[in-house]
Structures are given as C-alpha cells and as structure tokens.
Amino acid sequence: MRIIEFLKDKGMFFIIVLLITIFESIILWAFNLNIYIIIVIVTINILGMIFSLTFEYIRKWRFYNDIDTSIRSLDKKYLLSEIISRPSFIEGQIFYDALKFSNKSMNDEILKHEILSQEYKEYIETWVHEVKTPLASSRLIIENNKNEITLNLLEEIEKIDGYIEQALYYSKVNNLESDYIIKKTNLEYIVNEAIKKHSKTLIQNNVKISKRNLDIIVLADIKWIKFVLGQIIENSIKYRKENLDLDFSAEEWDNKVVLYIKDNGIGISDKDIGKVFDKGFTGENGRRFKKSTGIGLYLCNKLCDKMGLEINIQSNIDIGTTVNITFPKNRMINFEES
C-alpha cells in the first residue's frame, strides 16, 4: 500500500477535519481568545491528526505489504491465510476472518471431491482387476480351440486388455507417487519385454523390428516404461502404412541416454505435432482412424514426467515418426552414491 493511495483514501476525512478546524477557530475568535492560543490549539489538533494517521498507515502498510509479498512468493495462492498474521486494526481483522472462512469452505469442498475421486479411483482399480479374470479365461478357451474365428476374437481381447490397462493408468495418473520404483535396468531388456507383450499384434501386421545399441543401463520404473513403449508401439501399428518398419536404437551421452523409436508410418502434420501430448487430442490422424482416444500419448508424457524422463516427437507426413525418450544420467550418479 503506497502512502499516496492511503492519503487519497482519507480525502473526505481531511475535508471534514479542515472544516471543523475552521469552525472551531471562528468560535474561539468570537470568544475573543488570543490569536496565539488559537494557533496553538489548531497546531495541536493538526499534530494529533498527523500522528494518528501515521500510526494507522504503518499498521495497515505492514499488513497489506505482508499480503502482497506472500501472495507473490506462494506457489499455492490459496495458502495465503495460513501464513499471514491477524492484524490489530478492525478492517484487517474483518478481511482476515472472511479469508479464513472462505478458505475453510473451499477446503471442505475440495475434501468432498477428493473423497468422491478416491472412491471412483478405487472402483476403477477393482473393476480392472476383476475384469482381467474373465479375459484370462477367454484367452485360455481360445488357446484350446484355435481356429480363424477364435484367433480374431483373441486379437479383439488383446485390444480390450490394452484399453483396460490404459484406463488403470489414467485412474492413477494424478496420484502415481506411491506406485512406482525407480531402479537400474537394461534398456534392451525393457524394449524386448515391450515387443514380447505386443508380439502377436506385431506378427499379425508383419512388422519388421530392428534394434541397435540398446545394451545400456538406465534408471526407470520397469512397469511404467514398458507401458510407455507399448503405447508407442500400438500407435506405430495404428498409424502404419503397408509395410511397417519399427527401429529401436539408443545413444549414450555424458549426461543422458536417449532411446529412439522410429517408424515409417503416415506421420503427423506440423500443426498437430505440438499438441500430441494434450489429453484427448486426436488431430487429423485421429479423424482418419476412428479408434483414436487421444489418451495414450497423454499418459506417456505424464508417466515420463513422473519418472524424470523427457519424451518428445519428431514427424514428417508420409515419411514417419520418431519418439525420443531421454534418461538423465545425473540421477544415476546420485542413485549410485546413495
């Protein structure tokens, strides 16, 4: 709060005090009071007013300056009432109490929605685990009764399983901290596991796989990174041309390891490439392929972010797409030292 603003706010007060002082001086003059005594009385009144206003300004300046400094430095602005002190002047106390009351009301609402969200998340997780049992039974029945029809059914069941896994990660995406373990793992092992999981789909689509320079140790959660690679493989198959080539390679630098997953698919347009990690974004390719949900890459980006990895995409229409996943090495050094 600047002093000029404070004085402007007191404009009506100054006018009233000035009129009272003039009126008071006239009355004293009418009673033939000595002019010097009148001047002394008026001076005392003015000095008293200046002292009172200075005291008031200092109290308010401290309070509002504290608010201004705190709100600028806080990442979570709604915590303001928790860090400022209740002031000693009545206007500030009313404002402080209203802010506290408002925050309490907001916290009650947040708690209510968190409980509902937690209940929904638990239901989704339970449902996912329960639905996997009939899916596993269906696979077993198909394995014992292989024919063209059941193999087609198996392909559809694999897709359902992929969507269920995606739903499970989506339900956890905002609360993943308690569900991952970062540890050293071999990049080639992760890639092989992801390929193995999608082997049937890759074989059915005659995908040519190549791997180069993958025998490198990185830090990641194996379950999560396998899911990320699975989503990238599924996208390559979904947006393929006639003969899909899928190339996995890695480069090791002083401070990082970069995994490249390159395909020769239909590619992504320049206007869509910057939005592929947005939730629900499907773009031109999504409109051409109706099964797109716009969730897969969104989850990949979220999971990589949680693991401290960086994921980005380069693509050219009708040439192909390359997904880069960067594993920082500095975390590996810290891990080894700890």
Q: What band does 214 get if pLDDT is binned at 50, 70 and 90? A: very high
Torsion over CA: 40, 41, 45, 46 (sign) = negative
Instruction: Determine the 3-state secondary structure of 78 from DSSP.
Output: helix
Position 1 pLDDT exceeds 80? no
Q: What band does 331 get if pLDDT is binned at 50, 70 and 90? A: low
Could you tell me which residues are beta bridge partners of residue 104?
none
What mean pLDDT comes out for the span 232-249? 90
CA 285 to chain CA centroid, Å, is 26
Q: Output the CA angle 107-111-116, nearest 5 degrees.
A: 150
Q: What band does 5 get if pLDDT is binned at 50, 70 and 90? A: confident
From the list 211, 77, 82, 231, the residue with the least C-alpha distance to 169 is: 231
- Per-residue DSSP letter, 13: H
Position 33 pLDDT exceeds 60? yes
What is the per-residue pLDDT across 253-280, written as a single tens digit (0 to 9) for each? 888 999 999 999 999 988 888 888 998 8
φ, ψ dihedrals at 214, nearest 5°: -105, 0
- Structure confidence at residue 336 (pLDDT): 47
CA 273 to chain CA centroid, Å, is 20
| Helix (H) or strand (E) run with residue 211 in it | strand 208-212
Residues 268 and 281: their CA atoms lie apart, in Å, by 12
Cα dihedral value 281, 288, 159, 193, nearest 10: -70
What mean pLDDT comes out for the span 316-323? 92
Tokens of 70: 């705190």
Alpha helices in the chain (DSSP H): 3-9, 11-30, 35-73, 80-83, 90-143, 148-172, 187-197, 199-204, 222-238, 270-273, 283-288, 296-307, 330-337
Percent of the chain with pLDDT over 70: 93
Taking each helix axis as running N to C, give the angle between helix 296-307 and helix 222-238, from 0 to 180 degrees, rounded to the nearest 10.
150
Residues 108 and 281: their CA atoms lie apart, in Å, by 33
Residues 210 and 80: their CA atoms lie apart, in Å, by 55
What mean pLDDT comes out for the span 85-96? 88
Taking each helix axis as running N to C, give the angle between helix 148-172 and helix 222-238, from 0 to 180 degrees, rounded to the nearest 10.
130
Q: What band does 166 get if pLDDT is binned at 50, 70 and 90? A: confident
Position 12 pLDDT exceeds 50? yes
From the list 244, 162, 183, 260, the residue with the least C-alpha distance to 209 is: 244
CA distances from 310 to 177, 258, 276, 294, 315 (A): 17, 9, 14, 19, 17
Position 335 pLDDT exceeds 60? no
93-97, 211-215, 317-321, 327-331: range with lowest mean pLDDT: 327-331
Q: What band does 178 get if pLDDT is binned at 50, 70 and 90? A: low
Torsion over CA: 204, 155, 294, 230 (sign) = negative
Residues 266 and 227: their CA atoms lie apart, in Å, by 23
Average pLDDT, the chain: 87
- Structure confidence at residue 251 (pLDDT): 95
Q: What band does 147 get if pLDDT is binned at 50, 70 and 90? A: confident
Residues 248 and 234: their CA atoms lie apart, in Å, by 14
- Structure confidence at residue 338 (pLDDT): 43
Tokens of 11: 């404009």
